[in-house]
Chains A and B, each alone.
Chain A
Amino acid sequence: MNDFLAERVVSAATSSFTEHLAATRPDLLPINRSLPLAGVSAVAPPAAPHGTTIVAMTFPGGVLMAGDRRATMGNVIASRHIEKVFPADRFSVLGIAGTAGIAIDIARLFQVELEHYEKIEGTLLSLEGKATRLGAMVRGNLPMALQGLAAIPLFAGFDIETGVGRLFSYDVTGGRYEELEHHSVGSGSVFARGALKKLWRAGLAEDDAVRVAVEALYDAADDDSATGGPDPVRQLWPVVYTVTRLGGRRVADRELATIAGDIIAERSIARREA
């Protein structure tokens, strides 16, 4: 009886919120749901909103992540207000491209996972540890990804140990890859990457990095119909977060409006076609 109790206590003593849910409330895990007809790849996935382009880059003393505001469902714009970049904890952010519902749930679970660890252990998880946990969540979603409901994150954080900003990208199997300088995911990422290659440079100041991110998203929106550009009519700007030694900060709309306004003005004057 006592052995049984001790065993139960030890097995319950996990610092992971996801493991706790898996043991006690598996129905609440976003990655534990499966569609009917699992494994039948011929079935078309249900129509669900998709989020598109996320860009991220490092700058001295931190990282930056930005996402556009459009979600599409086939050829229809499902939302102009969606947010795809989320603060994960004080020192990290994640952005997710792919099926919006799954992406938002993974982000929410990841936020609780990190906070839960911090409260149980009394210390922050290392940046590597956070990146690994996120990889496990992406892998957990593999069955649904194979049925067409994939969500691929990009993870960025400030590494307190080494004092630098770092970037991690993932594949659908949960494979984790550290990226240097900059990276982009989502359908507009090919165009955003092209822009980043030209605009990013070593030693970029934080303000300039914000501008580079907005311009890269502008280029993605220019050529990818699923990515939304800055919307001066509705006053909608990308969601941009920076993370430095001081923690995460959401760049204010006022600041983004000025930057987007400048980019639009410059391009109007240049009158370049493509």
Chain B
Amino acid sequence: MTQQFYVSPEQLMKDRADFARKGIARGRTVVVVSCRDGIALVAENPSASLHKIGEIYDKIAFAAVGKYNEFESLRQAGVRYADVRGYSYDREDVTGRGLASVYAQSLGAVFTAEQKPFEVELTVAEVGHDVESDHLFRLTFDGSIADERRFVVMGGNAERVAETVVNGWTSVASFEEAIRLAAGALQEERAEPVTLEVAVLDRDSETARGSRRAFRRIGPDELAALVDGTARQAG
């Protein structure tokens, strides 16, 4: 019988964290920005059908970087959690905080108990009445959760992109300005044009669109019109 080597818990957790961090660093960057009109979610994503940004519920959206199969299963689980909760209680009772803590628990459980941790980083964004009441919960592979203000940048070039976003951020920006800021930050120092996936959570979807569902995807045509004039974007 082979003797198992002793690995200290500290070392084990550190190895797992390093492993997950490496996976995430390979992922393309996602920017989530709170602004006057709502919350803009902008991701660098070469695929038109494998989304990194998704709708969870009326006022809640999801953005992720890392392994697609892992965050997609988390997104679907989030939709199920939210729909069951809204159906059995009321639509108002589905909150970003509730969803984020469910994610934190599952990510934490996978990190400590499973063979390998999830190589993902998530943002749960909930749009409120104004920038102050927006919620941006950032969740990492080990289940730690942070309540961010103003914006979240995740993925490969997070630090550099965040620097540009923080310099240009203002609470009175329109969607157009916020998306341009994020798109510009993602494009910076890149030779090739970046393919973007963009969605927004409208602050006033009830009055503007007659829909309680605030999530809206920005199609390639609308996006081209939005970011036109700044960096050249490939649809």
How close is B144's CB to chain A, nearest CB, in angstroms? 25
Say whether A116 faces chain B, with CB atoms less than 8 Å apart.
yes
Q: Per a CB cutoff under 8 Å, which of B49, B79, B88 touches A120?
A: B79
Contact of A112 among B73, B86, B211 (CB under 8 A): B86
| Contact across chains for B87 and A109 when beta carbons are under 8 A apart | yes
Proximity string of chain B (76-97) to chain A, C-beta cutoff 8 Å, 1 when within and 0 when not: 1001100110111000000000
Residue of A nearest to B78 (CB): A119
Determine which of A9, A20, A21, A90 lies in contact with B73 in the assembled complex, contact meaning CB atoms within 8 Å: A9
- B-facing residues in A2-44 (Cβ within 8 Å): 9, 13, 17, 20-21, 24-25, 28
Q: Tell me which of B10-18, B50-58, B183-191 binds A.
A: B50-58
B83 touches A28 (CB 8 A): no
Q: How far is the CB of B208 from chain A (nearest CB, A)?
A: 14
B163 to chain A, nearest CB (A): 33
A46 contacts the other chain (Cβ, under 8 Å)? Answer: no
CB-defined contacts of B211 to chain A, threshold 8 Å: 90
- Please report the C-alpha to C-alpha distance between residue A116 and residue B49 in the assembled complex, in whole angstroms: 18
* Min C-beta distance of B99 to chain A, whole Å: 13
Question: Are A20 and B84 closer than 8 Å at their CB atoms?
Answer: yes
Q: Which residues of A contact B76 (CB under 8 A)?
A: 13, 120
* Contacting pair B79 A122 (CB below 8 A): no
- The residue of chain B having its C-beta at the shortest distance from the C-beta of A25 within the complex is B84
Q: How large is the interface on B (under 10, 10 to 19, 20 to 34, 35 or more residues)?
A: 10 to 19
CB distance from B219 to the nearest CB of A (A): 13
- Residue from A17, A24, A119 having most chain B Cβ neighbours under 10 A: A119
| Known A119-B55, A122-B51; contact A28-B79, beta-carbon cutoff 8 A | no
Mask, B99-112, CB within 8 Å of A = 1, is 00000000000000
- Judging by beta carbons under 8 Å apart, are B87 and A24 in contact? no
Chain A residues within an 8 Å CB radius of B213: 115
Known: A13-B76, A116-B83. A25 touches B54 (CB 8 A): no
Distance of A115 Cα from B88 Cα, bound (Å): 15
CA distance A25 to B213 in the complex (A): 25
**Chain B residues closer than 8 Å to A120, beta-carbon distance:** 76, 79
Least CB distance, B82 to chain A, in whole angstroms = 9
Interface centre among B51, B83, B86, by most chain A C-beta atoms within 10 angstroms, is: B83
What's the minimum C-beta distance from B75 to chain A, rounded to whole angstroms?
Answer: 9
In whole angstroms, how far apart are the Cα atoms of A179 and B73 in the complex?
A: 40
* B54: chain A residues within 8 A (beta carbon): 119, 122
* Contact yes or no, A28 B84, CB < 8 A: yes
B residues within 8 A CB of A116? Answer: 79-80, 83
A197 at the interface (CB under 8 A from B): no
Interface 1/0s, chain A 72-92, versus B by CB < 8 A? 000000000000000000100
Question: What are 5 contact pairs spanning A and B, CB under 8 A?
Answer: A9-B73, A17-B80, A24-B84, A28-B88, A119-B55
Where the two chains meet, the residues of B that have a C-beta atom closer than 8 Å to any C-beta of A are 49, 51, 54-56, 73, 76, 79-80, 83-84, 86-88, 211, 213
**Extra 15 A-B pairs, beta carbons < 8 Å, given A25-B84, A25-B88, A115-B83:** A13-B76, A17-B83, A20-B80, A21-B84, A21-B87, A28-B84, A28-B88, A90-B211, A108-B87, A109-B87, A112-B86, A119-B54, A119-B55, A120-B79, A122-B51
